[in-house]
Amino acid sequence: MQTISTQYGELIPQHTSDDLRKRDILPVEYHASGVVKSVPLEEQTVIVTPIGDIPAELVSFHENGTLNRVFPLNGKLSGYWSQDDEAGLSRPVTLATPFGPIRTRIMSVGFYDDRSLRSLTLWPGETLSVPTPAGPMEARVGVSFTRDGRVRSLEPAKPTVVPTRAGEMTAFDPDAVGVNGDVNSLVFDDEGKVCRVITTLTKLTVVHPDGHTVCHVPEHRESLCSEAEQEVVPMCVEFDSETVRIRTNPDNAPLVLPVEGHVFFAEPYLPQLANPFVELHCSI
């Protein structure tokens, strides 16, 4: 056992294991410069962060020594220890976010190297009311912030209508995975406008310069629940000042169209009505 000196106090790395949660002894990692990069902790330790005190079992650091990410829990899921078992150990924490104090269960909190809050990753099943440039929204999975405290992205907890350069689109990603809250399906640019949205409930129609019209809709795939069923593949649309990028299949490159000369407009799309013989048990 050897303590690690950090800007946040002396930390005791993990040096024992058990038969349930911590079946391996994880190593301390270092940056190439020799500065500590991550420390799995022997016991849950309270870390004093810029947004509040957070009990941690794993912490990582930027190369300048400031916090990168704090994990309240760090158990290893297995046949002996399930997510439900781990969830039983999760406790709410009170945090001072850019939009006010919150109290919720978190999987991790991320920080920029200037100590400002980068992201919140929520525990599965937790939701959070977030004031966004498009109005207040319920978020799940995660929320990310710019360095100056503006909401950069979030994962909508339910299908939510948002304004875009093509008109109103319904934002929701049924395939969202809560690895971390740094990158989410609904993203805002520096002006507060929607610059990326994932949807299963919107059709995007494009009028090309020669007058012909093309409709882009979410595709379908074989359901993960049953080979006899199909489910909707979320469609991703990204906007910037010069182009619109449309991806209807995550395995293919996006279609990139210039804004100049094209007209884009969105309208509701209900896959059940477009193909009434398809059941959508998993995604929607």
Q: What is the pLDDT of residues 97-143, one digit of tens each?
A: 999 999 999 999 999 999 999 999 999 999 999 999 999 999 999 99
* Chain centroid, CA 216 distance in Å: 25
Q: What pLDDT shows up at residue 100?
A: 95
For residue 265, give both structure tokens.
Answer: 């407009």
Q: Residue 105 corresponds to which amino acid? A: R
**Gap between the Cα atoms of 165 and 193, Å rounded:** 8
Both tokens of 173, joined, read 């990603």
* Token reading at 163: 């304004």
129, 204, 275, 281 from 226: Cα distances, Å: 34, 29, 18, 9
pLDDT at 278: 44
Identify the sign of the CA torsion 44, 46, 47, 53. Answer: positive
Please give the pLDDT value at position 69: 97
The Cα-based distances of 67 to 109, 153, 157 in angstroms read: 10, 21, 28
d(CA 269, CA 172): 13
Q: Determine the pLDDT at residue 86.
A: 81
Query: What are the structure tokens assigned to 155, written together?
Result: 């994962």
For residue range 70-102, what is the model confidence (pLDDT) as tens digits?
Answer: 999 987 777 778 778 888 888 999 999 999 999
Q: What is the DSSP string of 118-178?
A: EEEEEPTT--EEEEETTEEEEEEEEEEE-TTS-EEEEEESS-EEEEETTEEEEE--TT---
**Is-contact 105 123, C-beta < 8 A?**
yes
What is each CA distance from 38 to 13, 15, 60, 128, in whole angstroms?
Answer: 10, 14, 4, 28
**pLDDT tens, residue by residue, 8-53:** 999 999 998 876 777 788 899 999 999 999 999 999 999 999 999 9
Determine phi and psi for 95, rounding to 5 degrees.
-130, 145
Q: Which two tokens stand for residue 183?
A: 């990158």
